[in-house]
Amino acid sequence: MARRGSLSDSGSDSGSEDSSLSDSELQEAFSRGALKPGLNVVLEERPKRRNDADGLRQCLSELKQQLAWVERLDVTSGQVVDPASQSASSKDAVDPENDFQREMSFYRQAQAAVLEALPRLRKLQIPTRRPDDYFAEMAKSDQQMQKIRQKLKSKQEAMERSERAKQLRAMRKYGKKVQTEILQRRQKEKKNMLNAVKKYQKGLSDKLDFLDEEQTSSQGNKNGSASQRIKKGPNAKRRYKNQKFGFGGKKKGSKWNTKESFNDVSSFRSKVAHNKGPGKSGKGGKKALNKRPGKRARQKMKSRAR
């Protein structure tokens, strides 16, 4: 029986579509409300898929042979429950697109079947293990097996080679890093040594400690110099700049300000800057330490110290 459907846009005639029904019947149907206005077309009904369950069962009963299990060797089983992975009940969740999962499910099904069947076979005295001296024709020829073995071997070798290459590269990188560290350390030591020598030459320190291996930071040594000024040497700012840029061999702009040093106001002491610190003229004390002597005075001090 054809179903009647109607299209959304209004059409004209509907009567010519079904000639099987007379006009009066159509009118009745319309008055009942079974028909909607518009173009009524005969829709093709989807061909029903045949599923003759009784016929199938009958066929099966005809087809079945009364054979002992040993003739058929069939096993219907679920999968081996793998404790590590999901339980067998989630087998329905096996994603057929996920190749590995799918193949593992087949593998587990085969395993379960084998585990069930082997004891039965043993009971029926059907051998499952081939004796070592039983030589017979195999499904794949020896040549084929050789090819397979070669391929496996070559794959393994390629993997090993790439592993070795990676390790070598990593080791070389590490070695290079270590070497650069060593070189840098040596250069630093050399630099420090030279600085110490220069300092000694300039008379700022008369210790010969730099000849020893150990270089400790300068400790407070009270003897050998009259003036406390020389004890301290130049002030902190001077010492910092000397340490950073060294003596001699100055590059042109090395003592100029950089952006970072300009923006760095951490060493700004407002009391110092505005000359308003404690111990100033108000207390009567003289902050001789912060007052830098003039050029002449400094030269005199230097020559005196030599």
Nearer to another protein, 35 or 114 (CB): 114
Nearer to another protein, 72 or 296 (CB): 72
Rule CB under 8 A: say whether 71 interacts with another protein. yes
What whole-number distance in Å separates Cα of residue 92 and Cα of residue 214?
74
Helix (H) / strand (E) containing 43: strand 40-43
Nearer to another protein, 153 or 176 (CB): 153
Q: State the minimum distance, in angstroms, from the CB of residue 104 to another protein.
A: 11
Q: Are 95 and 101 in contact (CB under 8 A)?
A: yes
Helix (H) / strand (E) containing 79: none
Q: State the minimum distance, in angstroms, from the CB of residue 67 to another protein.
A: 6
Nearer to another protein, 81 or 118 (CB): 118
Q: Under rule CB under 8 A, which residues in 11-50 are in contact with another protein?
A: 49-50
Q: What's at 63, amino acid-wise?
A: L
Structural tokens at position 181? 């560290």
Structural tokens at position 49? 């898929």
Rule CB under 8 A: say whether 67 interacts with another protein. yes
Closest to 121 measured CA to CA, from 81, 71, 79, 76:
71
- Dihedral pair phi/psi, residue 33, rounded to 5°: 95, 10
Rule CB under 8 A: say whether 52 interacts with another protein. yes
Q: State the minimum distance, in angstroms, from the CB of residue 87 to another protein.
A: 15
Q: State the minimum distance, in angstroms, from the CB of residue 148 to another protein.
A: 5
Q: State the minimum distance, in angstroms, from the CB of residue 158 to another protein.
A: 15
Rule CB under 8 A: say whether 121 interacts with another protein. yes
Nearer to another protein, 25 or 103 (CB): 103
Q: Is the dihedral of CA 192, 198, 199, 200 positive or negative?
A: positive
Residues across the chain: 306
x/- letters, 78..107, toward another protein (CB under 8 A): x-x-------------x-x-----x--xxx
Q: State the minimum distance, in angstroms, from the CB of residue 97 to another protein.
A: 8
Distance from the Cα of residue 302 to its chain's centroid: 62
Name the residue with tokens 């070389």. 172
Q: State the minimum distance, in angstroms, from the CB of residue 124 to another protein.
A: 10
Q: State the minimum distance, in angstroms, from the CB of residue 65 to another protein.
A: 7
Helix (H) / strand (E) containing 3: strand 3-6
Nearer to another protein, 58 or 162 (CB): 58
Q: State the minimum distance, in angstroms, from the CB of residue 44 to another protein.
A: 16
DSSP alpha helices (H): ranges in 141-227? Answer: 142-202
Nearer to another protein, 10 or 76 (CB): 76
Q: Under rule CB under 8 A, which residues in 132-191 are in contact with another protein?
A: 133-140, 144-145, 147-148, 151-152
Contacts (Cβ under 8 Å, ≥6 apart) of 200: 206, 207, 208, 210
Q: Are 88 and 116 in contact (CB under 8 A)?
A: no
Interior/surface letters 12-41, b for 16+ CB within 10 angstroms, e for the rest: eebeeeeeeeeeeebeeeeeeeebeeebbb
Nearer to another protein, 81 or 297 (CB): 81
Residue ranges in contact with another protein by CB under 8 A: 49-53, 55-57, 59-60, 62-65, 67, 70-78, 80, 94, 96, 102, 105-107, 109-115, 117-118, 121, 125-131, 133-140, 144-145, 147-148, 151-152
